[in-house]
């Protein structure tokens, strides 16, 4: 009986999520000239070139504000904070802050589930604290990926997303690049606008 319950719970959760999405109002969609805010949490995996003792897997938090120019094109301002984990046995601390912009291309903006592609670029600051000596290094990044905006109501929903990111930072004569895979989930809220809603 316990095994049955354990196996049934995930299926019931998926079914409940499906019914919730399908019961979202028909007018839930990306509308032109609307604004958007979103909060995000996720994980990233980073590999560096050249190889270093820096951490490779960590979580991050981010926020964004956007404007839907048309139902198909959304511009974004983004901020991400990455409280990096130290390597095993390392007492030094690290964190990274990202400031940038992105463009999202919505493929089916009149539907409750809107798949999209996204491209972004910006600056970032990598900060280290070694023996209470703090150093910061500035760099830049470019990324691209995709996901889906899933409307749970007229104005709001969730957004799973996957991105690949290329980072570059220079410290003196040393150059460091990072290849990053971000997996994240967001809660978003859409407001305002003059777009025509589907009846």
Low-confidence ranges of the chain (pLDDT < 70): 1-28, 50-56, 85-91, 171-173, 193-199
Number of structural domains found in the chain: 1
**Domain range spanning residue 111?**
2-191
Q: Is 109 part of any domain?
A: yes
pTM equals 0.77
In CATH, what number is assigned to the domain containing residue 76? Answer: 2.40.160.20
Q: Locate tokens 């979202």: which residue?
A: 24
CA distances from 97 to 6, 7, 61, 199 (A): 40, 41, 10, 43
Dist CA 142 CA 41 (whole Å): 19
Residue 196 lies in a domain: no
Domain assignment present for 96: yes
In a domain, 68, yes or no: yes
Judge whether 199 lies within some domain: no
* pLDDT tens per residue, range 48-85: 776 654 556 788 999 999 999 999 999 999 999 988 76
Residue 197 domain-assigned? no
DSSP at 65: E
| 198 within some domain | no
């Amino acid at each position: 009986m316990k095994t049955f319950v354990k196996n049934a719970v995930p299926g019931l959760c998926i079914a409940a999520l499906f019914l919730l999405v399908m019961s979202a109002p028909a007018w839930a969609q990306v509308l032109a000239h609307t604004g958007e805010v979103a909060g995000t949490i996720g994980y990233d995996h980073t590999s560096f070139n050249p190889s270093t003792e820096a951490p490779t897997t960590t979580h991050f938090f981010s926020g964004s504000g956007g404007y839907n120019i048309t139902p198909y094109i959304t511009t974004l301002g983004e901020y991400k904070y990455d409280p990096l984990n130290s390597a095993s046995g390392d007492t030094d601390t690290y964190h990274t802050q990202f400031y940038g912009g992105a463009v999202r291309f919505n493929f089916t903006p009149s539907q409750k589930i809107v798949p999209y592609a996204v491209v972004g670029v910006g600056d970032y600051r990598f900060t280290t604290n070694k023996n209470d000596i703090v150093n910061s290094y500035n760099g830049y990044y470019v990324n691209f990926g995709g996901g889906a905006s899933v409307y749970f109501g007229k104005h709001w929903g969730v957004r799973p997303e996957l991105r690949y990111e290329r980072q570059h930072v220079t410290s003196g004569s040393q150059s460091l690049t990072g290849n990053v895979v971000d997996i994240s989930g967001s809660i978003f809220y859409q407001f305002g606008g003059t777009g025509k809603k589907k009846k």
